[in-house]
Structure 1
Amino acid sequence: MTHPDQTPLEERCPDCHAGIGQAHREGCDVARCLATGLQRLGHGACRCPQDVWTGRWPGEAECAEFGWMLGPGLPDLHRLLTTATWDPVAYRWTRPTAEGDTR
Structure 2
Amino acid sequence: MTTPPRPSSSTPPLDPFCPDCHVEIGHVHHDWCDVARCLATGLQRLGHDFETCRCPQDKWSGLWPGAAECIEFGWLYGPDLPDLNRLMTTATWDPVVHRWFRPGPQTSTDRDTTVEGEPR
TM-score normalised according to structure 2 size: 0.78
Structure 1 runs of 4+ aligned residues shifted over 6 Å read: none
**In 1, Cα distance between equivalents of 2:81 and 2:44:** 19
Selected match of 1:70 from 53, 77, 80: 77
**In 2, Cα distance between equivalents of 1:6 and 1:75:** 10
Identity of aligned residues (%): 65
**In 2, Cα distance between equivalents of 1:5 and 1:62:** 13
Aligned residues of 1:7 and 1:73 also touching (Cα < 8 A): yes
Letter in 1 for 2:90: T
Number of residue pairs matched by the alignment = 101
**In 2, Cα distance between equivalents of 1:4 and 1:43:** 36
**In 2, Cα distance between equivalents of 1:90 and 1:66:** 17
Unaligned runs of 5+ in 1: none
Aligned residues of 2:92 and 2:117 also touching (Cα < 8 A): no
Unaligned runs of 5+ in 2: 106-115
User: Which structure is higher in helix share?
Assistant: 1
Return the structure number with greater relative CO, CA threshold 8 A, min gap 6.
1
Cα RMSD between the aligned structures? 1.8
Selected match of 2:100 from 93, 100, 103: 93
